[in-house]
Amino acid sequence: MGLANESSVTTPKGAGPRSMNEDREMEILRAAYELLADVGYEALRLDAVANRAKASKATIYRHWAGKAELVAAAVRSCSTVETHIPDTGSLRGDLLASVGHLASSIAGYDGPVFAALIMAMRNDPEFANQMRAMQVSKRPIIEAILGRAQARGELKPGCDAGLLEEIGPGLIFMHVFALGEPVDDAFVRHIVDDILLPLLTPCGCQ
């Protein structure tokens, strides 16, 4: 029972009005992210963000330069893209899991958030790089999947890992944005079975 000096405790008790500046940032980002998903970029009002976060506009502008930067940070911080390496035992299973997760992530940004990403990337090149890095961060996943497939002899020789990086997101993006259709399992299977597998595995004429 160290009676002595527990002042080092950072008052984890939530009851009182805490006012650290590390938490506020995150709370504001969450508020921004949720409103973003609700109403989209254009209709996102900073007053509404401040109100929902019980923050003040001054605080927002103390941390971010404007709407675009706030949205960029919000998406960066609250986006649910995770880097999980699937291992289902087969190339097809891995691809289905990987593409499926990507699809649900992107489709989760359905509708309004998409425009937000575009705007945020356009107005914040640094955020654009971040987003692209997020994309690049999937590289190890892809290589792990392909590595195991190669070990199992499922892979066509000389196939490029970069292919997966491009095709999956491109098609999903196309589907959601240009076609405006939701991304469902059938579409994921279509990508995997009709496009990726034929490109990766030994000729389907087998």
> In the complex, what is the shortest distance from the CB of residue 126 to its own copies, in angstroms, rounded to a whole number?
12
Alpha-carbon gap, residue 53 to 11, rounded angstroms: 21
Alpha-carbon distances of 90 from 25, 60, 97, 119, 154, rounded to whole Å: 43, 48, 11, 39, 8
The single residue among 27, 166, 185, 193 that binds its own copies, judged by CB under 8 A, is 166
Q: Which stretch binds DNA (CB under 7 A): 59-67, 75-83, 106-114, 195-203?
A: 59-67
53 binds, among DNA, its own copies, none (CB under 5 to 8 A by kind): DNA
Sequence-distant (6+) residues with CB within 8 A of 100 are 185, 188
Beta carbon nearer to DNA, 43 or 136: 43
In sequence order, what DSSP letters do the residues of 65-94 get, joined into one string?
Answer: SSHHHHHHHHHHHH----------SSHHHH
3-state secondary structure of 59: helix
129-158 footprint of its own copies as x/- string (CB under 8 A): --xx--x--------------------x--
> In the complex, what is the shortest distance from the CB of residue 52 to its own copies, in angstroms, rounded to a whole number?
22
Q: Which stretch binds its own copies (CB under 8 A): 15-23, 72-80, 121-129, 144-152?
A: 121-129
